[in-house]
Structure 1
Amino acid sequence: MSEESNVSFFTKHKTAIITTVCCLSAVASAAYVVYTKEAEIPSSSAAPVNSVAADKKKKKKEAQKLKKQQEKEEFIATHSVEKFGLKFLPNSTAIDVSGLTEAQKTKKAAIIKKEANEIFKQQNFEEAVVYYTWALQLSSDPIFYSNRSVCYLKLNQPEKCIKDCTAALELDPKYTKCLLRRAQTYETISKYEEAILDLTGLSLMKYNAVSVEQLLQKCQELSLEQQFEQAMLTQKHELANFSDISSFYQSITSLPKNAKNINDEKLTKLVELIYGETVDSIKQADQYVNELVADEGAAISSNSNEAKAFIYAAAASLTFFKSLPTKSLELVEKSLTFGENSFNLLIYALIMCETSGMPKDSSELFNKAIEADLEDASALYHKAQFLALVDESQIKAISNLFIQVLEIDESFIFAEIQLCLLDYKQNPEKKDYQTRFTNLIRKYPDVAQVRMCYAEVLSTQEDQLIEAASQLDKILDNKNITALEKVNAMILRIHFYLSGPDQNMSTLTFANTLIKDAFEIDPTNYKVLNCIGQLTLQDPNRVEEGMNFLQLALENTQAPMEKRQLIQLIQSTKIQHQLLQHPIYAPLFIEMIQQAGM
């Protein structure tokens, strides 16, 4: 099983209803043996060896030179330019054009082109290339480049075809046939970004719109898949997006509760770090738990099996956040060997949700986790979330599960939030959800997630944007809310600033200040990096810098869906910048934007 990025379910507990060394040492040892043996060879034997190698190299070079000369002589002997009143340059396959006027060159080029066309019709493409090349030596006509590019295409030489199309377009930027051919050739060799730019140019010039649009869509999809696969292969295996990680653990009550009951020193320290609600504390938790489980758990060999089960499960959950599902699965399975409990069964269920693709098996694991501790609401809550993600139509069943969560633990705030969201989803016009959210805010004034989710719901209604912004401002102004909890509110608030009708330099300045604060709190948060990238791109002199931030965001994005969205954003941003830099496409692109009222 490949180590893929699949942490989407881990980070969707808040708003699921809405948005649902051995080899290296061996090589080193082998090299040491070789180097040692070479050192033992007497120096007198080195000279003959070097001499033999030099002789071989010299003979090879002479053979290549002779072969090249023979090919040149054969070409000259088998190709006649005399019939066009021309001759080859001495010892060369190039024709001699000296002494010819421009008119004479043009006339001879036209004659050669006509004969080349006849040769092409006979499908003698190699010979046609020779004739078009002669014509080009007489006249740099874009048609000659275009015709020769077709020959190269027929000869399965795509790079040469592209080169000739490019040469033709440099002479005639509106040569649409060449532009389409280059785009199609780019597509055949999987250079989709280049094809997309050419096809977008053709679309702007309204060239054969239907077929161009179809090919454009195909290349966009292929490019997305190509870059997505590459992004998954190069996925960083480090903790990132700490605000989401912290929020996830807030929805897990079984870990801190059992750690308190077990009263194991190492487990207690680990839990304190995990729930420290800062980037540093979560990083320290990851480092600490890795030390505990290293060397087959040597550091916890004397601890109770009960403590080991929780420690290994905690290691599994943190490892999963590093996009290492296989390793996390090994760790949670190790945890289960020390005894089953509500926490390790829940982590097992969550990991299986993302890796097995078998909802039935995952559902059974959730049930086992629930049965392991009927007084803990975590597993029941996540089962409800799981059901919301795999079968959103069962709203009544989902709602009942969240109600059961609150019957077990009336302070389980996330379940109350989800019930508010379900009210909105079922009856957005009735406005009952507003009353429910308002009551919840009074009950939990210092819980950022309540106001955050309320603001997200309000933001879907144009007449409620001011109130949505107000809810976010109250989060940012609340000193009882931790900095890490404020990050997502900062991001959404920036979105409101930039999308508002009264956008000006002061709002842009404030947005920049706010995003810098968010970056200082959670510098690997992909949503923060994405926002910085888009803000930076507002300055036409900082396009490269903005694109770098978007790329960083992509590297730190772990959930596949978000990765795809970021790749699409990067693609479209890059294409837009290229269009605006193009002498032909720029005015057409600007006109299209203006007509669309963008």
Structure 2
Amino acid sequence: MSSQQESNWPSWKIALAVGVPIAVGGVGYYLYKKSNRPIQDSSNGEPLTARKEPEGRPSTGRSQDETQDPFTAATKKKNEGNAAFKKGKYTEAIEKYAEAISLCPVDYKQELSTFHQNKAAAYEKLGNNEAVIEECSKAIEYNPKYVKALFRRSRALEIMGRKSECLEDMTAVCIMEQFQNATSMVFADRVLKEMGKEMAAERYKNRGPIMPSVLFVNQYFASFTEDIVSRPLTDVERANTESGYICGRLALESGDLERVIPECTREIEAATSSEQCQTQKTETVASPISDVPPNYLSAAYLLRGSLHLLQGKAASARPDLDKVIEMDIADVKLRVNALIKRGSLHMQEQRADEAQADFDYAVKLDPQNTDVLHHRGQLYILLDKTDDALKDFKECMRIKPDFALAHAQYCYSVYRQAFSRRDAIETRRAMAKFEELIKETPNCSESFGLYAQALSDQGDFDRADEMFQNAIEVEPDNATQYVHRGLLCLQAKQDIEESVKLVRKAIEIDAKCDFAHETMGTIEVQRGNLVKATEHFEIAINLAKSEMEMAHLFSLKVAAIAQANLVKKYGITTPTFGPAS
């Protein structure tokens, strides 16, 4: 499962540095809250949520001599334009607003901005978006913080396909409204997601393979308890250097990851071109634990597909996994592992039905396989099928009582179910069960980490921090635990310096930890270090394991860039948290 959990707040809002501690990865997002009173539009004193059209109340002007005062004459034309607008006579309204603009003295900047904005509103009704942009731009020249004009120009820019400019305007609107206007928030969120998706589609399609760190790869394979391709090699197997698969395994073991795929390919090419292999495939099980002369074809496909998967190359991984799944004569453990990995790929791509089908088929092939039950349980959690998840986790525990991670997931699922139902008694029982679990599984970092998240939910931050420290002590090379602890520092103590220190430690341990770079980017935005933020987001983008993950990261980067541009253009900033460095 991903390190990052769901939040009710869009992640781009976090990236806009609303000046509060954030916590990602199970701790949740904690955002800066300001007054709930209606935000006032500086142009006319009305709440922003109103946005009435056309703008400006009827007025007799500032002079009592209406025949000679230009402003009074301009106001009269504006009022006539408003009347025409309300009758749906938009062309006539535009003419009246134009007359008002020509008559109005240049020192009446507030009124001129309103006249141009009203003219833009009429052009919008006629579908003339170029004119809308032009008139709104003139309004903003007179009043740079004119929210209504920025909002209208943003809509027109989106229609014209100028999404970066659209986002800048809408970002300015959200900041000026202190993130309290739902319409603006939804608009900005949609544009960011669209931009992130478009950018990710292009980058993901054209990028080369990115090999994750040795630490990450080792942790990935260690997460499977019944995976044949990661089991220890025998002395006899180690001596078989003629086999590409064995050489690939040795390369994996030594951390020479770049050699694994070529060696597996050598095994596959030799096996598929050999007449002996063709005969053997009809007579023996194609697995590395066969009693006959070893045929590693299915294992080589699985190992190569796994590395492709870790590189984020789904298009290359899927055919290899398909091959193993379709090999009826392959060892069932290999086929089930391939189904788990293909199912996980479907989960990444948000194809829950296909993931469910793969996991269900894997359980049918090997009902006692705890790896598939554990992964299917995680899918059920994502689908909010907690009761089904608990059944799978419980079955894991029955089959393999020492499967600590299954125990941890079971405890956390029970806790989340009770907590979401606001069942205080069951929540306390779940927390007590966690206390028992950490005593029973002192060497399982996930037990401490999940308990820390539950404690954080309960507001017991000191105890949560203690649990994260225990998790780090058990698994000091697990970079994500440092990130989680750093985020807790923000949430509990608003200690951004300690948080930065911990996340930097995570990056020191694993420079390819995308979660750490994403989190550091978000923190740097909060500190006002927008250039550093975009650098970290870009690193995380290059490390993304899926197109969907990449789209999310692009949205964060684009949001940071939009804010940086606003600082240059208008001097608009959000409150920063902690000193910039």
2:334 paired with 1:343 = yes
Match of residue 394 from structure 1: 388
2:190 paired with 1:221 = yes
Q: Structure 1 residues 138, 422: CA separation in 2 closer, same or farther (over 3 Å shift)?
A: closer
Match of residue 427 from structure 2: 428
Match of residue 495 from structure 1: 487
Query: Over aligned residues, Cα RMSD in angstroms?
Result: 4.8
Match of residue 518 from structure 2: 530
2:173 paired with 1:196 = no
Match of residue 251 from structure 1: 223
Q: Structure 1 residues 171, 289: CA separation in 2 closer, same or farther (over 3 Å shift)?
A: same
Give aligned pairs, total.
467
2:399 to 394, 405, 408: 405
Match of residue 316 from structure 2: 327
Contact 2:251 2:257 in 1 (8 A): yes
TM-score between both structures, scaled by the size of structure 1:
0.63
- Residues 512-562 of structure 1, C-alpha deviation per residue, up to 9 Å, x if partnerless? 44333321332221211023223434543x322223313432443335775
Distance 1:543 1:11 in 2: 22
Q: Structure 1 residues 549, 322: CA separation in 2 closer, same or farther (over 3 Å shift)?
A: same
Match of residue 438 from structure 1: 438
TM-score between both structures, scaled by the size of structure 2:
0.65
Alignment of 1:446-595 (within 5 A): 447-463=444-460, 465-477=461-473, 481=475, 483=477, 486-501=478-493, 503=495, 508=497, 510-540=498-528, 542-558=529-545, 566=553
Q: CA deviation at 1:199?
A: 3.5
Match of residue 249 from structure 2: 271
Distance 1:295 1:160 in 2: 65
2:159 paired with 1:178 = no
Contact 1:332 1:347 in 2 (8 A): yes
Q: CA deviation at 1:495?
A: 1.8
Q: CA deviation at 1:330?
A: 0.7
Which moves more between the two structures, 421-430 or 568-577?
568-577
Distance 2:555 2:500 in 1: 24
Q: CA deviation at 1:311?
A: 1.1
- Residues 263-315 of structure 1, C-alpha deviation per residue, up to 9 Å, x if partnerless? 35443443354456xxxx2xx33542234326962488668843110111111
Contact 1:363 1:383 in 2 (8 A): yes
Distance 2:306 2:4 in 1: 12
Amino acid at match of 2:457: T
Q: CA deviation at 1:351?
A: 0.9
Q: Structure 1 residues 271, 436: CA separation in 2 closer, same or farther (over 3 Å shift)?
A: farther
- Residues 395-420 of structure 1, C-alpha deviation per residue, up to 9 Å, x if partnerless? 5522432123315xx4x332233344
Distance 1:452 1:107 in 2: 68
Distance 1:114 1:562 in 2: 50
Match of residue 166 from structure 1: 137
Distance 2:541 2:456 in 1: 25
Amino acid at match of 2:458: Q
Match of residue 82 from structure 1: none
Contact 1:455 1:471 in 2 (8 A): yes
Q: Structure 1 residues 295, 112: CA separation in 2 closer, same or farther (over 3 Å shift)?
A: farther
Of structures 1 and 2, the larger Rg is shown by: 1
Amino acid at match of 1:552: I
Contact 1:346 1:369 in 2 (8 A): no
Distance 1:272 1:10 in 2: 29
2:366 paired with 1:370 = yes
Distance 1:143 1:388 in 2: 52
Q: Structure 1 residues 173, 337: CA separation in 2 closer, same or farther (over 3 Å shift)?
A: closer
Amino acid at match of 1:398: D
Q: CA deviation at 1:450?
A: 3.6
Distance 1:113 1:451 in 2: 71
Contact 2:452 2:464 in 1 (8 A): yes
Q: CA deviation at 1:168?
A: 2.0
SS in 2 for 1:358: helix
Which moves more between the two structures, 546-555 or 489-498?
546-555
Distance 1:111 1:434 in 2: 71
Amino acid at match of 1:159: E
Match of residue 260 from structure 1: 233
Contact 2:343 2:356 in 1 (8 A): no
Q: CA deviation at 1:494?
A: 1.5
Alignment of 1:278-317 (within 5 A): 281=255, 284-293=256-265, 297-298=269-270, 305-306=286-287, 307-317=296-306
- Residues 8-57 of structure 1, C-alpha deviation per residue, up to 9 Å, x if partnerless? 58999xxxx9899xxxxxxxxxxxxxxxxxxxxxxxxxxxxxxxxxxxxx
Contact 1:313 1:335 in 2 (8 A): yes
- Residues 143-190 of structure 1, C-alpha deviation per residue, up to 9 Å, x if partnerless? 664465456545644234213312222113355553443233234335
Which moves more between the two structures, 114-123 or 317-326?
114-123
Q: Structure 1 residues 574, 136: CA separation in 2 closer, same or farther (over 3 Å shift)?
A: farther
SS in 2 for 1:260: coil
Distance 2:307 2:572 in 1: 48
Distance 2:2 2:530 in 1: 34
Structure 2 unaligned blocks of 5 or more: 6-24, 29-66, 281-285, 288-295, 419-425
Q: CA deviation at 1:429?
A: 0.3
Distance 2:155 2:365 in 1: 54
Match of residue 91 from structure 1: none
Contact 2:132 2:153 in 1 (8 A): yes
Distance 2:363 2:143 in 1: 68
Distance 1:319 1:495 in 2: 31
Distance 1:497 1:115 in 2: 56
Q: Structure 1 residues 312, 582: CA separation in 2 closer, same or farther (over 3 Å shift)?
A: same
